[in-house]
């Protein structure tokens, strides 16, 4: 079967791009021909429709006028006409792609979910209506879950959101990553959805140190005897990285005590006087300037050595601008611990990445984790599931919980047996429950239904 996986972008280090790579590999192993369709291809190979990218200048103009302030149009009708004209350009290209590549199943990731690109949702829905092609629409979030889509500037935007995000079409199967969103979609839109969680190729080649990533620590100014704490997600407000900063600050105090004891780390390295705790942020910066500045000020105030290294990290290893670029997986290799303090997640790619990399994980127990993941029995260091918002807009967890988490992290870092038992325990759970085999079993009925109706 010819299958197309579609998104605003592919070939980057954001969670959806990474998940699409997994789906592509799983579908290929099932014997299908798989193409990417996107607004940009990054370091992947894709059929590109530039208008599909969410940062296309016209889409940024539409988004501002739809959800912030209508300043570029004299009337709602003029705005609607411009959006529909742009959507028609995309619709024609989508239909041409479907027909030219003889696509038999289109799997759309988030294009019909958020309203991030109004014309993309309109164009794809119309193309699906005209071609009748089967579509699986994957939703990581919905527009009603985000504040920035809650105050449209005009009624036509409300109409579009309700009609197209997501649409109610007989040839569209809806997919969500968790049971909470499944219930929400049913209650709000009376639409059924299949739950397919994030997965990872637990049978793949392990990420290990080699001659390529041997220089990564040096390239980011980190010594071999430093302790690297990795935050692998994109840098955005909803990742609440400030919680990680709080824990790292407490961890530093405990590492100082370990240094006075001349303790040896889990990997056999002895802590020295010059050993530091370095908080490494490897993901793409996609937050407001205000948020990154708050993180910088907080880290500086608490004496945290925090480093943004996304300029050194790419989708895959490459040489660019005369220098070496590392993959996100290389960042895991050089890390000693991973933080994942998000208070909101649709599932959590970085959770499985840390499990696969055999690194211990600090986690905030976000709602989907509590509902769908916690009962699998992973051993993570927890920040609990209760937080509050401070006057500066940053999240905070009670000090005793933060201190207890930092103590657990220090004990793992200085306990070789406990460290290895923990990461091996988590890896086996991941391999059993979240492998490509599990994705295969979940996709199989969907594919069979499409083939039956072909």
Residue 396 sits at the vertex; the CA angle it makes with 395 and 397, to the nearest 5 degrees, is 135
Indicate whether 243 pLDDT > 70: yes
Indicate whether 368 pLDDT > 80: yes
Task: Band the pLDDT of 449: cuts 50, 70, 90.
Answer: confident
**Structure token pair of residue 184:** 């929400």
pLDDT per position as a tens digit, 393-431? 999 999 999 999 999 999 999 999 999 999 999 999 999
**pLDDT confidence of residue 454:** 60
**412 against 41, higher pLDDT:** 412
Indicate whether 148 pLDDT > 90: no
**pLDDT confidence of residue 399:** 97
* Closest to 281 measured CA to CA, from 338, 243, 344: 338
Indicate whether 286 pLDDT > 90: no
Indicate whether 112 pLDDT > 80: yes
- 3-state secondary structure labels for all residues of the chain: CEEEEEECCCCCCCHHHHHHHHHHHHHHHCCCEEEEEECCCCCCCCEECHHHCCCCHHHHHHHHHHHCCCCCCCCHHHHHHHHHHHHHHHHHHHHHHHHHCCCCEEEEECCCCCCCCHHHHHHHHHHHHHHCCCEEEEECCCHHHCHHHCCCCCHHHHHHHHHHCCCCCCCEEEEECCHHHHHHHHHHHCCCEEECCCCCCCCCCCCCCCCCHHHHHHHCCCCCCCEEEEECCCECHHHCHHHHHHHHHHHHHHHHHHHHCCCECCCCCECCCCCCEEEEECCCECCCHHHHHHHHHHHHHCCCEEEECHHHEECCCEEECCEEEEEHHHHHHCCCEEEECCCCCCCCHHHHHHHHCCCCEEECCCHHHHHHHHHHCCCCEECCCCCEECCCCCEECCHHHHHHHHHHHHHHHCCHHHHHHHHHHHHHHHHHHCCHHHHHHHHHHHHHHHHHHC
**pLDDT confidence of residue 227:** 97
Average pLDDT of the chain, as a whole number: 94
pLDDT per position as a tens digit, 307-331? 999 999 988 899 887 789 999 999 9
Indicate whether 366 pLDDT > 90: yes
pLDDT per position as a tens digit, 384-394? 999 999 999 99
pLDDT per position as a tens digit, 191-219? 999 999 999 999 888 899 999 999 999 99
Indicate whether 346 pLDDT > 90: no
Task: Band the pLDDT of 43: cuts 50, 70, 90.
Answer: confident
Indicate left, alpha or beta for 50 from its phi (over 0: left) and psi (-120 to 50: alpha).
alpha
Whether residue 40 contacts residue 48, with contact meaning beta carbons closer than 8 Å, is answered with yes
**pLDDT confidence of residue 311:** 92
CA distance 324 to 317: 8
Q: Phi and psi of 106, rounded to 5°?
A: -110, 125
Q: Phi and psi of 439, rounded to 5°?
A: -65, -40
**pLDDT confidence of residue 150:** 87
Mean pLDDT of 234-244: 95
Mean pLDDT of 60-68: 95
Task: Band the pLDDT of 453: cuts 50, 70, 90.
Answer: low
Q: Phi and psi of 118, rounded to 5°?
A: -60, -50
């Amino acid at each position: 079967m010819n299958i197309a996986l579609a998104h605003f972008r592919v070939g980057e280090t954001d969670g959806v791009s990474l998940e699409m790579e997994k789906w592509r590999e799983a579908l290929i192993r099932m014997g299908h021909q798989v193409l990417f369709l996107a607004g940009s291809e990054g370091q992947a190979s894709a059929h590109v429709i530039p208008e599909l990218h969410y940062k296309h200048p016209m889409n940024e103009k539409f988004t501002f006028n739809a959800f912030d302030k209508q300043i570029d149009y004299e009337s709602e009708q003029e705005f609607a006409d411009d959006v529909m004209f742009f959507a028609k350009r995309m619709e024609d290209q989508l239909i041409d792609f479907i027909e030219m590549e003889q696509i038999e199943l289109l799997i759309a990731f988030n294009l019909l979910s958020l309203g991030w690109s109004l014309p993309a949702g309109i164009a794809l829905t119309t193309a699906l209506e005209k071609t009748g092609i089967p579509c699986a629409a994957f939703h990581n979030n919905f527009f009603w879950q985000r504040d920035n889509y809650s105050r449209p500037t005009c009624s036509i935007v409300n109409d579009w959101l309700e009609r197209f995000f997501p649409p109610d079409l007989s040839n569209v199967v809806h997919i969500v990553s968790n049971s909470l969103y499944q219930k929400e979609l049913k209650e709000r839109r009376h639409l059924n959805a299949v739950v397919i969680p994030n997965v990872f190729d637990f049978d793949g080649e392990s990420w290990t140190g080699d001659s390529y990533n041997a220089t990564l620590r040096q390239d980011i100014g980190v010594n071999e005897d430093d302790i690297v704490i990795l935050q692998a997600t994109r840098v955005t407000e909803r990742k609440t990285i400030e919680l990680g900063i709080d824990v790292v600050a407490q961890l530093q105090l405990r590492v100082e005590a370990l240094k006075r004891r001349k303790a040896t780390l889990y990997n056999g390295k002895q802590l020295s006087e010059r050993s530091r705790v370095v908080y490494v942020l490897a993901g793409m910066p996609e937050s407001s300037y205000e948020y990154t500045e708050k993180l910088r000020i907080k880290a500086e105030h608490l004496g945290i050595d925090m480093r943004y290294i996304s300029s050194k990290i790419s989708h895959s290893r490459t040489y660019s601008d005369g220098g070496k670029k590392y993959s996100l997986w290389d960042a895991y290799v050089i890390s000693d611990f991973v933080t994942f303090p998000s208070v909101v997640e649709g599932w959590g790619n970085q959770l499985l990445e840390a499990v696969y990399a055999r690194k211990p994980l600090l986690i905030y127990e976000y709602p989907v984790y509590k509902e769908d993941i916690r009962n699998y029995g992973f051993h993570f260091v927890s920040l609990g599931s209760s937080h509050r918002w401070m006057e500066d807009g940053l999240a905070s967890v009670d000090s005793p919980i933060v201190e207890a988490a930092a103590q657990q992290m220090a004990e793992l870092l200085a306990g070789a047996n406990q460290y290895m038992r923990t990461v091996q325990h988590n890896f086996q759970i991941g391999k059993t429950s979240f492998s490509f085999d599990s994705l295969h079993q979940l996709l199989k009925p969907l594919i069979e239904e499409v083939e039956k109706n072909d």
